[in-house]
Amino acid sequence: MKPITEYKDYREYLLDYYHERKRCSAFTWREFAKLAGFASGSHLKLVCDGKTRLREDGAKRTAQAMNLSDFERDYFVLMVRYERAKTDLEKKKCFEEMQALCEASRVKILGSELYTFYETWKHSVVRELAVAMPGAKPNEIAKMCKPPISAADVSESLSFLVKSGLLTRDVKGRYHQANQSLSTGRLNVVAVAVHSLLRQMGEFALEALDKLPISERNFSGITMGVTAESYAKVVEELVQCRKRIVSIVSEDKNVEKVCRLNMQLFPLTENICNGTSVRVNQK
pLDDT one-digit tens code per residue, 5-49? 888 789 999 999 999 999 888 999 999 999 999 999 999 999 999
Angle at 262 between CA 256 and CA 268, to 5 degrees: 160
Quote the pTM value. 0.57
Fold of 111-219: Arc Repressor Mutant, subunit A (1.10.10)
Q: Is residue 185 very low, low, confident or very high in pLDDT (cuts 50, 70, 90)?
A: very low
pLDDT one-digit tens code per residue, 123-181? 989 999 999 999 899 999 999 998 889 999 999 999 999 988 889 999 888 999 876 55
Q: For residue 7, what are the contacts with CB-CB under 8 A and spacing of at least 6?
A: 13, 16, 79
- Check residues 86 and 183 and name the one with the higher pLDDT: 86
Q: Where are the domains of the chain?
A: 4-109, 111-219, 220-283
Q: If you classify domain 4-109 with CATH, what class do you get?
A: mainly alpha
The Cα–Cα gap between 141 and 189 comes to 30
pLDDT one-digit tens code per residue, 201-257? 898 999 999 999 999 999 988 998 989 999 999 999 998 998 898 888 888 778 889
Question: What secondary structure does DSSP assign to 134-176, as a single string?
Answer: TT--HHHHHHHSSS---HHHHHHHHHHHHHTTSEEE-TTS-EE
CB 109 within 8 A of CB 99: yes
CB 90 within 8 A of CB 79: no
The Cα–Cα gap between 67 and 211 comes to 59
Q: For residue 53, what are the contacts with CB-CB under 8 A and spacing of at least 6?
A: 47, 80, 83, 84
Q: Beta-carbon neighbour count of residue 18 at 10 Å?
A: 18
Question: What integer best gives the mean pLDDT of the chain?
Answer: 86
The Cα–Cα gap between 78 and 97 comes to 8
Q: Which amino acid is at 139?
A: N
135, 108, 242, 241: which is closest to 182 by C-alpha?
242
Same topology between domain 4-109 and domain 111-219: no
User: At residue 278, does pLDDT exceed 50?
Assistant: no
